[in-house]
């Protein structure tokens, strides 16, 4: 399940193609995820940034190479909620970095290696040990030419 608020190109493409990828945001790629999530999606220059993308293994969806864990998703149903839309999906494939599959490494260590970022809807990003990493929108101008 994924909920996307507001009108944006990503949502238009999901509606049209009924597929998308959900990329786990890690600490090392937080700046990129914040930029992508907080920059107007209909601006052509939004994607004129140093970003490595590849195709999904099962679905024709873009996948961020820097994401340690990615779901390739097929939309089965969507529900409109005011300005947001909830997409209920079938997981068609999961892409996981090799070291995160190694059962010889403890689950706790693999989770530390993945370094996922949490966002609780109050404008602050956190690590799993509750360390604040920054606020929503801190990196939205990271790649702008106005710097």
Residue-level pLDDT at 144? 74
Q: Evaluate whether residue 77 is within a structural domain.
A: yes
Contact 69, 93 (CB under 8 A): no
Q: What CATH number does residue 22 fall under?
A: 2.30.110.10
> In this structure, is residue 76 part of a structural domain?
yes
Note whether 123 and 85 are within 8 A (CB). no
Q: In this structure, is residue 143 part of a structural domain? A: no
* Domain encompassing residue 50: 2-135
pLDDT for 146: 54
On whether residue 98 sits in a domain, the answer given is yes
Q: What three-state secondary structure class fits 118?
A: strand
Burial of 121 (C-beta count, 10 Å sphere; 0-12/13-18/19+): exposed
Q: What angle do CA 73, 78, 81 make, to 5 degrees?
A: 130
> Total structural domains in the chain?
1
Give, for all 147 residues of the chain, the pLDDT tens digit. Answer: 999 988 889 999 999 999 999 999 999 999 999 998 888 778 778 888 889 999 999 999 999 999 999 999 999 999 999 889 999 999 999 999 999 999 999 999 999 999 999 988 778 999 988 889 999 889 988 887 654
């Amino acid at each position: 399940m994924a909920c996307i608020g507001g009108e944006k190109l990503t949502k238009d493409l999901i509606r049209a193609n009924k597929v998308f990828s959900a990329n786990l945001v890690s600490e090392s790629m937080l700046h990129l995820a914040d930029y992508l999530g907080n920059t107007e999606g209909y601006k052509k220059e939004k994607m004129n940034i140093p970003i490595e993308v590849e195709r999904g293994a099962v679905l024709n969806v873009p996948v961020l190479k820097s994401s340690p864990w990615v779901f390739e998703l097929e939309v089965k149903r969507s529900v409109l909620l005011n300005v947001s839309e909830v997409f209920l999906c079938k997981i068609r494939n999961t892409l996981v970095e090799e070291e995160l599959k190694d059962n010889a490494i403890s689950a706790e260590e693999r989770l530390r290696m993945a370094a996922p970022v949490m966002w609780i809807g109050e404008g602050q990003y956190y690590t799993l040990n509750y360390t604040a990493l920054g606020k929503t929108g801190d990196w939205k101008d990271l790649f702008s030419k106005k710097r």
